Amino acid sequence: MVELDYGCALGDVREQWERIENDLRRAHERLLEDKEAGVIGFLDLPFGNTKNVKELVQKKRSFTDELVLIGIGGSSLGAECAVCSLGKAQGFYVMDNVDPDKTVKVLKTIDPERTCFTVISKSGSTTETIANFMAVHPVIKSKEQLVIITDPERGFLRSYAQNNGIDTLPVPPNVPGRFSVLSPVGLFPMAYMGVDVDKVLEGAKKALELCMIEKLEDNPAWIITALHYLHLLNGKNIAVMMPYAERLSLFVSWWRQLWAESLGKEGKGQTPVKAIGTVDQHSQIQLYNDGPKDKIITLMVVEDMEDDIALAPLSEEFSHLAGKTLSQVLKASYQGTAGALVKNGVPVLVVKLSRLDEEHLGSLFIIYECATALLGYLLGINPFDQPGVEEGKRLTHGILGRKGYEEKAQEAMDIAKRCTSSSLRML
């Protein structure tokens, strides 16, 4: 069961709420048209066949026991979220950043002969991914240990795999990285680590059915879209997601990328902020309650925590806690925090999961993907591209001396000079 409680989320957009349904319907129709035209592919992924993925996992599992995922952004966050939040992370390593501390630490930890190295990049040319692959490939003992997940036809990694006889899986060309968690990009690492990928897709399918209902009160994606859109129009430029479950921490990282990279363009967008309950009650809540009223907040709760522990009596002062469990304290803290936020006029949406398992995670993935796409259409921007990422990549190529990027190298140097022209040297 996934439940959205939005009675305390409407705040000062209640009037607009009554009139938003037609706009949502138009955005929804556009989504379906783009799906039919084959322009967007993420809505087809829940219906995909997992046979290829599972067969390849079986083959690799017969002689390896650990997985190193080399990929970044949409090519790593979804799988990392699922594997870690579902408690399957033993023997799972992600090389996303090009921070040598991270890469070297992984290399020191694994047994390279018993490891499956999975390189994931839709473009097949992302600097971080290629650099980590270049750092790692000397330790890979045989090509059988490798899997490359990339565009079915284009890019360096596709031709590298073809030329070297490496096993591959495709990234559908009409699915951008951050919408690709339900494709082999997410499913292969998940299945390798023991996540039941059929159940993930099953959850996504069930939720997608709801996301197709053309009635605001019954469609979870429409509700999330409408709330964030209307509050954004009312100056709430920040969307906070705060689960009261540490296991959902990486889900928030996944959502943060989806929201930021899909919606932040042409001067528009809503800044996604990650918070964790209760930890950030002691860090960010002061600002949320008492600072500028520029936020819509999503709290997330998991009703049935996997583990729990009872509190033993300690002193009369804390006798109200004795006999309760940690999850009861967590729940009370969420209720207290939600109450204070509501009293302070902050719109609060609550997402409740009965438990955190494959099906629920699959539902969350597709609901938030649909909501992001719809919000992009309402804002009049293309949620599926990322033009703002490209210039930084071009300048980096120039700095690293890539052929054809000489002008960018010069430009990067000029900018660096400008930045250091006023500088304070300390110690």
Could you say whether residue 132 binds ligand PA5 (CB under 6 A)?
Answer: no
Pairing of strands 167-170, 271-274: unpaired
Residue 148 Cβ vs ligand PA5, minimum distance, rounded to whole Å: 12
Query: Count of CB atoms within 10 A of residue 48's CB?
Result: 18
How does DSSP classify residue 310? Answer: B
Could you say whether residue 74 binds ligand PA5 (CB under 6 A)?
Answer: yes
CA distance 159 to 244: 45
| Member of 16, 123, 234, 335 binding ligand PA5 (CB under 6 A) | 123
**Region near ligand PA5 per CB under 6 A, out of 13-21, 174-182, 399-407, 409-417:** 174-182
Could you say whether residue 122 binds ligand PA5 (CB under 6 A)?
Answer: yes
Could you say whether residue 72 binds ligand PA5 (CB under 6 A)?
Answer: yes
Q: Which residue of the set 80, 128, 261, 359 is catalytic?
A: 261
Q: Kindly list the strands in the beta sheet with 271-274, ordered across the sheet, starting from the edge strand earlier in the chain.
A: 2-5, 348-353, 295-302, 238-244, 271-274
Whole-Å CA distances, 42 to 39, 85, 393: 10, 22, 25
Q: Which two tokens stand for residue 368?
A: 């938030």
Closest residue to bound ligand PA5 by CB: 177
397 tagged catalytic: no
| Member of 64, 115, 129, 270 binding ligand PA5 (CB under 6 A) | 129
Number of residues that bind ligand PA5 (CB under 6 A): 14
Residue 344 Cβ vs ligand PA5, minimum distance, rounded to whole Å: 35
Q: Which residue of the set 282, 320, 403, 417 is catalytic?
A: 282
Is the Cβ–Cβ distance between 190 and 82 less than 8 Å?
Answer: yes
Is the Cβ–Cβ distance between 107 and 211 less than 8 Å?
Answer: no
Could you say whether residue 126 binds ligand PA5 (CB under 6 A)?
Answer: yes
282 tagged catalytic: yes
**Region near ligand PA5 per CB under 6 A, out of 27-35, 70-78, 201-209, 264-272:** 70-78
Pairing of strands 271-274, 238-244: parallel
- CB of 73 or CB of 220, closer to ligand PA5: 73
Could you say whether residue 73 binds ligand PA5 (CB under 6 A)?
Answer: yes
Residue 171 Cβ vs ligand PA5, minimum distance, rounded to whole Å: 7
Q: Which residue of the set 35, 54, 268, 393 is catalytic?
A: 393
Residue 398 Cβ vs ligand PA5, minimum distance, rounded to whole Å: 18
Is the Cβ–Cβ distance between 381 and 265 less than 8 Å?
Answer: yes
Could you say whether residue 121 binds ligand PA5 (CB under 6 A)?
Answer: yes
Written in H, E and C, the secondary structure of 194-224 is CCCHHHHHHHHHHHHHHHCCCCHHHCHHHHH
**Region near ligand PA5 per CB under 6 A, out of 14-22, 92-100, 120-128, 307-315:** 120-128
Could you say whether residue 261 binds ligand PA5 (CB under 6 A)?
Answer: yes
Q: Please name the residues in contact with 123: beta carbons below 8 A apart, sequence gap of 6 or more.
A: 150, 151, 155
CA distance 158 to 50: 21
Residue 153 Cβ vs ligand PA5, minimum distance, rounded to whole Å: 14
Helix H or strand E segment including 234: none
3 tagged catalytic: no
Which residue type, as a one-letter code, is found at position 148? I
Site for ligand PA5 in 386-405 (CB under 6 A): 386
Q: Which residues bind ligand PA5 (CB under 6 A)?
A: 72-75, 121-123, 126, 129, 176-178, 261, 386
State the catalytic residues: 261, 282, 393
